[in-house]
Amino acid sequence: MKPKWSKIADLAAQEVKLRQKISLLCLMEMTFKRPANQRTISFDEIAKETKLPLNEVEILVMKALAQGLVRGHIDQVAGVVNMTWVQPRVLDRSQVAAMATTLDTWMLSITEMEKLIESRANEILTN
């Protein structure tokens, strides 16, 4: 993208801000795409996806947390971020379809858990 925006003076002047916003959006998208119970993201993964140096990842995550774009906590020792929430935003059709699939999977898991509890709790419920 840089070759295209470097030709436009206003965009070239704001390159640092643009890169930061793109990196924040990338972090949000990484969080959104993951199932809610698998939102532990390593600094290495974030660096690879955002194309940032590893030493800038923690700063990026802190900015995202401070701006309320995501919620979670940083485990600096382990080099991971545990995300618990991501700011809702406009979704395209494929993202809505992915959410529907996720909801279907959750419903199936809930039904299976309900059947498991009923079968194992039968003795308790009958006494």
pLDDT in tens, 8-51: 777 777 788 888 999 999 999 999 889 888 999 999 999 999 99
Q: What is the CATH number of the domain that holds 23?
A: 1.10.10.10
pTM > 0.85: no
State whether 33 and 54 are in the same domain: yes
Query: Is 46 in contact with 52 (CB distance < 8 Å)?
Result: yes
CA distance 2 to 6: 6
Same domain for 117 and 61? Answer: no
Split into its structural domains, the chain has a count of: 2
How far apart are alpha carbons 30 and 81 in whole angstroms? 12
Do residues 24 and 72 share a domain? Answer: yes
Write out pLDDT tens, residues 82-115.
999 998 777 788 888 888 888 888 889 989 998 8
Same-domain pairing of 77 and 98: no
Beta bridge partners of 73: 82
Rounded Cα–Cα distance for residues 51 and 22 (Å): 10
Domain that holds residue 108: 90-126
